Amino acid sequence: MVKFLHFSDTHLGNREYGESFREEDFYEAFQEAINIGLSEHVDFFIHTGDLFDTWNPGNHALLKFKDFARQISDANRGMYIIMGDHDRPKRRDDPASKIFDFLGVKLLDDGAPDARRNVELSYDGESMLLYGISNMKGLRKDLLVEEYRKAESMATDYRSSVLLSHQAVSPYLHPEACEARYDDLPKTFSYLAFGHIHDHVVRDKEYPVFSYAGSTDMTSSSEIARFLKGGKGVNLVEVKGGEVSVERVRLKSTRFQVEVTARQENYIDELEKMHSRYADRFGEKKPMVLLTITGESDREEVKNSLKKLSDQYFFRRVRFDPQKEVSVEEPNMNSLIDYFKAYFGDDSMSSLANEVYETLRDDEFEKARRVILEKLGIDFEVGNYDN
């Protein structure tokens, strides 16, 4: 039997809202993932991309990862990884993860045209194929399915095999944002280990078993809804003679986040309701609350009363949305998008304007940028994504 830990999208170095404690949160989640793997005596670790938040991480993030890799190497375990879209150098340079080969970090597919993508492992008398394809998009996207076919053909020679891939696969993201369809994926592998989509997905009722391990912390508020349902976690995977079982292990260190939307008259009540519903999930860290105040409000008064609660919660910049309730009662020319429509005289432009407005209001500049470029049909290599 072979046992390994599959995790993904750890975005080391991410400093959300410029808060250094948020950067530490990502390191703590990574440490917890390693602790889980080592205490479960896994044979090795696989990481399916977006190891770092950017392709040229800061020195602190590099040092933190060196420490993590050393813990794995001291335990005589290996780590196999591929590049996510965040890890792939945006200009001619080497991938950051290559620096750590001396600690047993093996990058499958370093992006070179002749990159070695496969490695054969042997545990417990069983040989296993690991095959990694780093993120392919932009010009590379058209070659992706061809690469999947090559991988598929190599895996036919093995009873046990794992594919590492970092892509958006439909139906797990809206089709326009996807580089492949689920039906395009190789079918000869035992386990398809995926990264890129930050929510956890597992399909284990059919062969091969397919999973997005998901991120270990949230890089966008769009991850909160799924986090509230299932938390963040890692996959413990066992493979025996081609049979796969996946156990999801929830991370305890991921900082709790929640959105609360209320009017000024009742937001304190709503915060209390949220507290009684979720307090047992807060853990040791101060929970982060994304608060939206709808309708008419006295912003100064809200801000002052939130200061008194600041030892209990970390409030992200509060959002005031006077439009929100009005638009429900009277849809004509009272919601922002109606104004955009009137101004542009074009549904597509007005929905773009509305989406950009919504994302910028959340301070998600990179996401807004992506929305614009996607809408204009520009495939691009530079910049960050929230995935």
CB of 366 to Mn ion, least distance (A): 12
Among 9, 23, 109, 199, the residue binding Mn ion under the rule CB under 5 A is: 9
Q: Which stretch binds Mn ion (CB under 5 A): 1-9, 20-28, 52-60, 353-361?
A: 1-9
* CA distances from residue 270 to 4, 112, 277, 280, 305 in whole angstroms, order as listed: 42, 53, 11, 17, 14
> For the chain, percent helix, then strand, then coil, each to nearest 5?
40, 25, 40
Distances (CA, A) of 271 to 4, 17, 228, 274, 290: 40, 22, 16, 5, 11
Residue 387 interacts with Mn ion (CB under 5 A): yes or no: yes
Stretch that binds Mn ion, among 6-14, 16-24, 311-319, 325-333 (CB under 5 A): 6-14
Selected from 16, 28, 43, 50, the binder of Mn ion by CB under 5 A is 50
23 near Mn ion, rule: CB under 5 A:
no
Look at residues 190, 204, 207, 192 and name the one whose alpha carbon lies nearest to residue 246.
Answer: 204
> Taking CB under 5 A as the rule, does residue 87 contact Mn ion?
no
The answer to the question of residue 216 lying near Mn ion (CB under 5 A) is: no
Between CA 123 and CA 303 the distance in angstroms is 59
Query: Residue 3 and residue 42: Cα distance in Å, rounded?
Result: 5
Query: Whole-number minimum distance, CB 9 to Mn ion, in Å?
Result: 4
Three-state DSSP class for residue 170: strand
Residue 199 in the binding site for Mn ion (CB under 5 A): no
Give the total of residues touching Mn ion (CB under 5 A): 3
Minimal distance in Å, beta carbon 47 to Mn ion?
A: 11
Active site residue 47: no
Binding flag, residue 223, Mn ion (CB under 5 A): no
Q: Nearest approach, Cβ of 195 to Mn ion (angstroms)? A: 7
Cβ-contact 173, 198 below 8 angstroms: no
Report CA 111 to chain centroid distance, whole Å: 21
> With respect to Mn ion, which residue has the nearer C-beta, 43 or 364?
364
Q: Is 179 in the site for Mn ion (CB under 5 A)?
A: no
Between 50 and 179, CB nearer to Mn ion: 50
Strand partners, 32: none
Comparing every residue's Cβ against Mn ion, the nearest one is: 50
Residues found near Mn ion in the complex (CB under 5 A): 9, 50, 387
